[in-house]
Amino acid sequence: MMKRLSLVAMAIGALQLTAVAQTTTLQIDGAAPKNTISRHIYGHFAEHLGRCIYDGFWVGDSIKVPKKDRIRLDVVDALKKINIPNLRWPGGCFADEYHWRDGIGPRKQRPKMVNTNWGGVTEDNSFGTHEFMELCSLLKTEPYIAGNVGSGTVEEMAKWVEYFNAGGESSMAALRKQNGRAEPWKVTYWGVGNESWGCGGNMTPDYYADLYKRYATYARDYLGAPLRKIASGANGGDYNWTEVMMKNVPRNQMWGITLHYYTLPTGNWRGSKGSATIFDEKLYFNTMKNCLQMEELVNRHSAIMDKYDSAKRVALVVDEWGIWTDVEPGTNPGFLYQQNSLRDALIAGTTLNIFNNHCDRVKMANLAQTVNVLQALILTQREKMLLTPTYHVFDLYKVHMDAKHLPVKFTSPDYTMGNEKIPAINASASRDSTGATHITLVNLDPNKKQTLSTTLNGVQWSGVTGQIVTSGKVNDINTFENPGKIKVQNFTGASKQGNNLNIELPAQSVVMLELK
């Protein structure tokens, strides 16, 4: 009997060793890359919501930090480090109640309004067009303006375009000069409304398609400033919206169409969405399953777009994405302030890998939002500032900006929870202008490391270096007392064997490898 038990134990041990030794093979094709990963996939979003603009980017005299006018420069410096390519403003839902003339001219004379979408607070309009454009100048980033279709007029939008972009003699150019800006800003990216299916007017797709064409007609190109007009697109899996827009709007009137999708831990809009910091593995698994839904959404919306636009001239613009949890206890529920954990970093890495791998159609995306709101890159508390785990993922992934996409093929091992399973690993790869190859990998499994063997076709390299974002627990966070708990660290788990790349990918980690 003892001998039989011993044999059983040996068999179980052999199975465990086999499981540990199981290797996933990745194939990266660098022979003839076709598509470029647009830098604009790495865009961001700043809405007049909670403490994103006011008390985030734009602070008063009582906040003793370096500033230009009232723009907080430590926030600017942090965002410059990750090369943010564009910034979407003024919303969001706020865009369709924003009247731009209220935000120009002497600040003391600007009318106040109630921000009915976000907390019912008073908006003093001290941060308007000129202040936003100064912020973009400091950030060295491109502005992406969301125009008011919901409560605005065609003339109002047309005049705002003229105010931004007209040179020479015109009434709006004269008004801009009167307010201190002689030269046009030449803004390129222009959203025609926001969430027109919801807070932007509760419209049907057929009605909005006609309205879009009217507004877009009068949003004119000015000398040296051709507009890239972006239509308000679908809410998540509303494929009919995309179908109607692609069918009814001429390609030459629409540079892009948006898609909005948020990862909800519980999947529930009406009740609790789940805490940003207090969750068990079951809720973590459900969150990651919902995050991976982005792959299906991009695939299915792209397939509809392909029916009408096989040349892929119209961009899919995912200009609102990220995790949306319950607000932090004790904060204004209309301010959408939430902490940011390692779980959120894994969501960021996974989503950006999806966008990179669909760069033939996804040309722009915007994380919601930049400072103090939803899946923020930066949190502030008076003079204190911290960089979130999500920020560090964007720091790792900036190597993909404007690089050639290299297809990655593999079958991921499963991460299982009860009777459900999701892919444990996701990845993307690119080659930059210097010839360096970069691979970004995410292991969603919080329990198991992954052993990878990578074959590289058409990639010349002699060595590999790496960086990693990880922590001991998936709900670990950076705090104002300990702002460096989660940060970018050197990664030494990759090695060269012949022309193969072997990787030991730790549990719950985001890794970036550079091959030169």
Please identify every residue annotated as catalytic: 195, 320
ω into residue 90 within 30 of 0, thus cis?
yes
**Element (H or E) spanning 378, and its range?**
strand 378-381
Phi-psi region of 182 (alpha: psi -120 to 50; beta: other; left: phi over 0): alpha
The SS3 of residue 359 is: coil
The SS3 of residue 129 is: helix
Tokens 């106040």 sit at which residue?
112
- Extended strands (E) in 30-70: 43-45, 67-68
**Angle 151-246-36 (CA atoms, 0-180°, nearest 5)?**
105
Task: Return phi, psi of residue 161, to 5°.
Answer: -60, -45
Spatial contact of 72 and 83, defined as CB atoms under 8 Å apart: no
Contacts 24+ apart (CB under 8 A), 118-125: 118/47, 118/48, 118/49, 118/50, 118/93, 118/94, 118/334, 118/335, 118/336, 119/50, 119/332, 119/333, 119/334, 119/335, 120/334, 121/334, 123/48
Tokens describing residue 441: 């990998």
* The amino acid at 65: V
CA pair distance 91, 70, nearest whole angstrom? 20
- Extended strands (E) in 33-192: 43-45, 67-68, 71-72, 86-89, 113-115, 121-123, 142-147, 189-192
CA pair distance 54, 453, nearest whole angstrom? 48
Write the secondary structure of 194-222 as one string of H (helix), E (strand) and C (coil): CCCCCCCCCCCHHHHHHHHHHHHHHCCCE
CA pair distance 437, 255, nearest whole angstrom? 30
Spatial contact of 380 and 355, defined as CB atoms under 8 Å apart: no
Q: Which of 123, 96, 270 is nearest to 198 (CA)?
A: 96
**Element (H or E) spanning 320, and its range?**
strand 315-323
